[in-house]
Every structure is written in C-alpha cells, then in structure tokens.
Structure 1
Amino acid sequence: MFLNSSSSTTLFLPSFTLPPSTRIPAVVFSTFTYLLIMCCNLMIVVTIAINHNLHKPMYLLLLNLPVCDMIGATAFFPQMISSMLYEPRVISHGACVLQAFLAHTYGGGSLLILTAMAFDRYLAICSPLSYNNIMTNNNLIKIITGIWLTDTFTILTFIALALRLKICRNTISDMYCNNPSLTKLACEGTHVSNFYGLFTIALYQGISLAVILFTYLQILFTCVFKKQADARSKAIQTCGAHLIVFLFLEFNAFIALVAHRFENTPLFFRRAMGVSVMIFPPLLNPLVYSFNTRELRKHIMVFFKGKISPF
C-alpha cells in the first residue's frame, strides 16, 4: 500500500530506549553539546571575520568549515533533543527531507572545503612565488561559490531522486533522516537513486583523496628537499590540523555511507557511525584548528583577553 508522501506524513525514527530516569540528563547533556559546538564554531567564524590580518585565502576558506559544521549540528541535534522525551520518536516527512538535505550539505560541503584548503596549502608551500597570482580575491570567490553551488546541486539531486519514489514504509532506518533512509522508504525500484549515490560517493571521495594525496606528497617532498627546519615546521603547523580533520571526517563519512550499501552490516554499527559523523567532527574541528594554527590561536586569545580583562 502506497503512503502519502506529503510533508504531513508521519515517519518513525528508531527509539533511544532510554530509561525514564536518564531522559532529562540526556537532554541536558545533548543540549550542552549542541551549544558547545555552535559557540566554538561561531568563535572561529567571528575571529576570522573581525580580524583583517586573517583575511587571507587560507583563513577565508577555513571560515566555511565551521559554517558547514554548524549546519550539520543544527540538522542533527534539535530534532534529536526534542524527540528524546517522547516515545515513539516521530518526524514529519517534510522535516525529514529538510534534515536529510542539511545533513548531506554538511558532509559534502566539508569534504569540498577541505579539498580546496589542501590545494591552497600546496600552492603556498610549493609555489610561493605564484601563490598571490593564483589565489586572488576574484579566484577565491569563484572557488568558494563553486563549492557551495556544487554541494547544493548535488544534494538537491539526491533529494529529488528520493522524492520521486512512491513510499509504502514509514520507518527511518537510521537515528536521523538521510538520503539512504529516505530511499529505503520506497517499495519500488531504487536503481537510479542507488547508482547516483554510488557515483557521487566515488566522485567526491576519489577527487578529494587524489588532491589530498598529491598535495601532501608534494608538500613533504618540498620540505625534505629544502632541508630547512623552519620550512618543515611551517608545513607541519599549517597542514597537520587540516590532515587530522580530513582523515577523521573521511573515515566516518565513508564507512557510514558504504555501510548502507551492504545489507549484512550490523545495524548498531551503521547507526553508530552515522551518528558519530554528525557529532565528533563539528565538536573537534574548532578545537583542532584553534590549538594547531598559531595565528588563529593568537587572535582567539586576544579576543578573550579583551573580553575578560577589566581594563
């Protein structure tokens, strides 16, 4: 029996199976985590925005990463927190589509931004003489605009392919709504959606890995070839944080997406990886960049000293 796929259709999310005595503490902890993520990422955005010394390609690209993290956190936490106190957990079809769109926008956007940041570091370290000619303000605007347009178009296509399907199920398979879960509501052929999903995963992951591998090998070769301690220190400082963030996101997102393609994947493992990619990168990214990027850390400390100091 086909179900109405209008925005008012009620869908059911997996239960948290929380004992009544732990629900309030869980809501408080989740709310605190969400506010912490938003505050830390907003701190990075504000610090870069108000300091003209940070209006450089590296930091202007970085500014987009906390924006993505805030989108991802907002896609996940408010709905999760609001549904913790009630059983069964429900969400309207329209809200589910919006959550899936925001969640995938966060994931795809983060991957594209990290790829662009790797290319920027490659130019800065391996081709410093041509860096300013290539990374002009005009080109930087084109890169950032291209990232968001590509990400938005890709995810809208995902959602459009899922919405064209008639649904006859009302249970979301993951802890939150995403494109694979929306597709699994259908009881007709999903070959086009699955093919597009696999193609997009391969394209995003392939391009990102190729760029990261090429740029970091070139950076490593340049630093070793120069045999200069300051060059090696600069490369480690500027690239170490980026590499940590990229590998963590890549590992979580890749496993979470691929796990949907194999029916024998343990349900708990798939759900755990799906939740972890929505929580840990947005929580850890601002901390990693704050502690490992000297210039950004300096301006953050100046900002807080100015707020705390009574003089």
Structure 2
Amino acid sequence: MNLFNSALGKNITFVRPAFFIISGFSGIPNIKYYYVFLCFVYVVSVLGNTVVMAVIYLDHNLRTPKYIAVFNLAFVDLVGSSALVPKLLDIFLFNHPYISYNDCLTFLFFSYTCLFMQVFNLVALSYDRLIAIMHPLHYQVKVTHRFVLSLIASFWVFAITVDLVLVGLLTRLSFCRSVVINSYFCDHGQMFRMACNDYTPSHVLAVLMIGLIFMCPLAFIVLSYLCIGYALSKVATAQERYKAFRTCTAHLSLVAIYFIPLLITFTAGSQIRPNARIINLSLTSVFPPMLNPIIYVLQTQEIKVSLKKLFKTNKLKISLDRGKQKGFESTPN
C-alpha cells in the first residue's frame, strides 16, 4: 500500500471512511421474498458443488484433465457463493448495511477473484472440447494433467494479481463525497466513482478488465465453437455429429447462463432501471454456481454413471452392515 501512496507524494492525506453503506436492494418492493430465494439458491449451490467435487475425488475414473477443470469450477463456485451470499443476506436480510473499509476491500477481492476464475474455467473447458473434437487422436498428448494443472494455476495467479492491483488502486482514493455504495456488494465501479481525487487508473483498469476478462474469453469460446462446428460439418453421419456435439452441451449451457445475462445488461445500459439492473447482476452472480453442478450431473454421462456406482456401493455397505448387526443379535449368549 505504501508503494501507491509514495507514488503520489508524501504530503497527500487520504480520506478513508470507517465504513461503507451497501444500499443496493433498499427501496425494492417485496424484496424479502428475493432473500428467501437467495437462501434456497445458496443451499443448492453448496450441496451441488460439494457433490460434484466429492464424486470427482472419489471416482478414480474421473481424474482426467477435463474433470480437473470441472473440479476447479465447482470449488470456485462453492467459494464464490460462500463469499457473496451469506454476506449479502447479512447486509440486507438482517439489516446490517454497514461494512468496514477493510472488510469491503476483502469482500471485493474474494468476489472478483471467484468471478474471474469462473470465466477462466469456461475457457479451459472450451479448449478441452476444441482439442477433443478437432484433434481426437492427439487429445491425450495435448491435454495432459500437467498442462491443465499449469493452465489453471496460471489463471489463479493472473486473477489474484489483477485483484491485488485492483484493491491497491482503491486504497489511493479519497472517499470524501459519499460512503453509500448503490450495489449489492462492494462493487469496484461504484466505489472508485465515489472518490473525490483522480480515479483514472482505477477506471482504466476497469475497462481493461472488461476486455481481458470478459470479452477476450468470450471471443475465444465463440471462435472455438465455430471451429468445432466446422469440424463436425465434415463428419460423415448425422449420428456421429450428434454424439460429438452432445459432449459440448454441458459447457455450452454454462457459457449461455453466465454470459447472456451480462451481455443483455451491459448492452441495454441506461435503458434498464437501476433496481432491475441490480437484481439482474445479482442473479448473474448467484445463479451459475447453483446451475453448474446440476447441468454437469444431468448432462454428463460419466458423472451420472459414477453417482450410480457410489449409491450402489453405499447401499451394499449399508445392507452388509445391517446383515452383520442382525447376525450378532441372533447369536445366542
């Protein structure tokens, strides 16, 4: 933090408030029903992502490069939901809108890191499908455990580095105008616009983030599926094309759930009312972590088979334990 301060001069005094006020959902009618819905979404997210992580961990057949990325996505969804939803409910449902300066920056850091990693995981899964369909004979060579682990690790390093710079730039801002954040969490854009000194570096970084972390990944995913479509058009039979495309349906569903609401919100711009915009963006934050595990369980044959095996194994163990218990009970003293 001292590095940012010294770059501006030693005589500059920063106005850092003791707390911020999160006011995103205030004034929206019947908003308490939405909080109940958020509780349901959070419970389903935690259970669903925990199940997906447990299945991948317990079944050695699922420890493939593709499912390393799926495991990481479930982990990010679990952490992201736990970082956002409980705090959101505490702020609005229990009427604790005040959040300290340091807690707000920490809240922002974890929320944005998980947000970025969700996008990067979609990129990794897109690359997996691209190689699997366009270069099936070289898939085992190009998509290895080491490559996927290195790719995911590099994504984590990049996301954390960007967020540290993001938070560092916010610490050099003076908040002498207002401390009310008109959002459902400590939103970066809302925060730097409240500053009374020059916030150009934060604004430039926000624009770069939109390009590097949203538009570039989306462009890569779209191009990868154009290449996949071209490759499938050369496949001889319609049945083979359908079978190959079916392996992409889960990933395409995740991409649609994540990017379409964001594109609609940012494209419409000022035409969307502030309250509707806040509700839409909050749904974009909490919905994908809930739906991702459901989609992978329902649309991925390997996970469904693994779940059935685990249930059968557990039932067999339970029946054997009961049989042993009855045997001991029937043994005469």
TM-score (norm 1): 0.88
- Write out aligned runs for 1:1-311 (5 A): 4-5=15-16, 9-14=18-23, 15-16=25-26, 29-87=37-95, 89-168=97-176, 169-254=178-263, 266-307=273-314, 310-311=318-319
Contact 2:49 2:293 in 1 (8 A): yes
The alpha carbon displacement at 1:32 in A equals 3.7
Q: Deviations over 1:219-269 (max 9, x none)?
A: 22222211234532332222111011112211234455678xx66752113
Q: Measure, in 2, the Cα distance between the counterparts of 1:308 and 1:89.
A: 47
Contact 1:167 1:187 in 2 (8 A): yes
Q: Measure, in 1, the Cα distance between the counterparts of 2:85 and 2:297.
A: 23
Contact 2:22 2:182 in 1 (8 A): yes
Q: Measure, in 2, the Cα distance between the counterparts of 1:284 and 1:291.
A: 10
The alpha carbon displacement at 1:206 in A equals 3.2
Contact 1:101 1:178 in 2 (8 A): no
Q: Measure, in 1, the Cα distance between the counterparts of 2:285 and 2:310.
A: 28
Contact 1:41 1:67 in 2 (8 A): yes
Contact 2:68 2:149 in 1 (8 A): no
The alpha carbon displacement at 1:306 in A equals 3.8
Which sections of structure 2, spanning at least 5 residues, go unmatched? Answer: 1-12, 320-333
Contact 2:265 2:272 in 1 (8 A): no
The alpha carbon displacement at 1:150 in A equals 1.1
SS of residue matched to 1:201: helix
The alpha carbon displacement at 1:111 in A equals 0.8
Identity %: 25
Q: Measure, in 1, the Cα distance between the counterparts of 2:78 and 2:301.
A: 23
- Residues 72 and 41 (structure 1), Cα distance of their counterparts in 2 relative to 1, 3 Å cut: same
Q: Measure, in 1, the Cα distance between the counterparts of 2:264 and 2:109.
A: 19
Give the superposed CA RMSD.
2.6
The alpha carbon displacement at 1:301 in A equals 3.0
Q: Deviations over 1:17-52 (max 9, x none)?
A: 5899x96x7766543432221110111111111111
The alpha carbon displacement at 1:3 in A equals 7.8
Structure ID, larger Rg: 2
Q: Measure, in 2, the Cα distance between the counterparts of 1:277 and 1:27.
A: 15
- Residues 137 and 191 (structure 1), Cα distance of their counterparts in 2 relative to 1, 3 Å cut: same
Q: Measure, in 1, the Cα distance between the counterparts of 2:280 and 2:28.
A: 19
The alpha carbon displacement at 1:189 in A equals 2.1
Counterpart residue type for residue 288 of structure 2: P
Bigger mean CA offset, 85-94 vs 36-45: 85-94
Contact 2:254 2:292 in 1 (8 A): yes
Which sections of structure 1, spanning at least 5 residues, go unmatched? Answer: none
Q: Measure, in 2, the Cα distance between the counterparts of 1:290 and 1:206.
A: 28
The alpha carbon displacement at 1:16 in A equals 4.1
Contact 2:90 2:96 in 1 (8 A): no
- Residues 288 and 250 (structure 1), Cα distance of their counterparts in 2 relative to 1, 3 Å cut: same
SS of residue matched to 1:186: coil
SS of residue matched to 1:226: coil
Bigger mean CA offset, 165-174 vs 222-231: 222-231
- Residues 254 and 162 (structure 1), Cα distance of their counterparts in 2 relative to 1, 3 Å cut: farther
